[in-house]
Amino acid sequence: MIPYGRQSINDDDINAIINVLKSDFLTQGDQVPKFEKEVSSYCNASYAVAVNSATSALHLACLSLNLGKGDYLWTSPISFVASANCGLFCGANVDFVDINPETYNLDSNKLKDKLIEAKAKNKLPKIVIPVHFAGQSCDMKSIYELSKEYGFKIIEDASHSIGGKYLNEPIGNCKYSDITVFSFHPVKIITTGEGGMALTNNSKLAKHMSLLRSHGITRDPSQMTKQSDGDWYYQQKELGFNYRMTDIQAALGVSQLERLDDFVSRRHELAARYNELLQSLPIVIPYQHNDRYSAFHLYVIRLEDRNKHKQVFEYLRKNGIGVNLHYIPIYNQPYYEAMGFNRGYCLEAENYYNEAISLPMYVSLSEEEQDKVVAEIHKALN
DSSP for 174-232, written as a single string: -TT-SEEEEE--TTSSS--SS-EEEEES-HHHHHHHHHHTBTTEE--GGG-SS--SSTT
Residue 137 pLDDT greater than 90, yes or no: yes
Model confidence pLDDT, tens digit, residues 182-205: 999 999 999 999 999 999 999 999
Fold of domain 2-257: Aspartate Aminotransferase; domain 2 (3.40.640)
Residue 140 pLDDT greater than 90, yes or no: yes
CATH of domain 260-381: 3.90.1150.10
Q: Provide Rg for the chain, Cα atoms.
A: 21
The pLDDT score that the predictor gives to residue 222 is: 87
Q: Tell me how far CA of residue 58 lies from CA of 6, 90, 129, 351, in angstroms.
A: 24, 11, 9, 27
CA-to-CA distance for 183 and 180, rounded, in angstroms? 10
Which sequence spans correspond to the domains of the chain? 2-257, 260-381
* Secondary structure (3-state) at 302: strand
From 186, 189, 183, select the one nearest 80 (Cα to Cα).
183
Mean pLDDT in the chain?
97
Model confidence pLDDT, tens digit, residues 276-291: 999 999 999 999 999 9
Model confidence pLDDT, tens digit, residues 288-341: 999 999 999 999 999 999 999 999 999 999 999 999 999 999 999 999 999 999
Residue 27 pLDDT greater than 90, yes or no: yes
The pLDDT score that the predictor gives to residue 20 is: 98
Specify burial of residue 362 (Cβ count, 10 A radius: 0-12, 13-18, 19+): buried
Give residue 185's identity as a one-letter amino acid code: H
Higher pLDDT, 131 or 230: 131
**pTM (whole model) above 0.85:** yes
Do 49 and 35 form a contact (C-beta atoms < 8 A)? Answer: no
Residues 6 or more apart whose CB falls under 8 angstroms from that of 220 comprise none
Model confidence pLDDT, tens digit, residues 55-79: 999 999 999 999 999 999 999 999 9
Mean pLDDT over 139-150 rounds to 98
Model confidence pLDDT, tens digit, residues 241-274: 999 999 999 999 999 999 999 999 999 999 999 9
Mean pLDDT over 35-56 rounds to 98
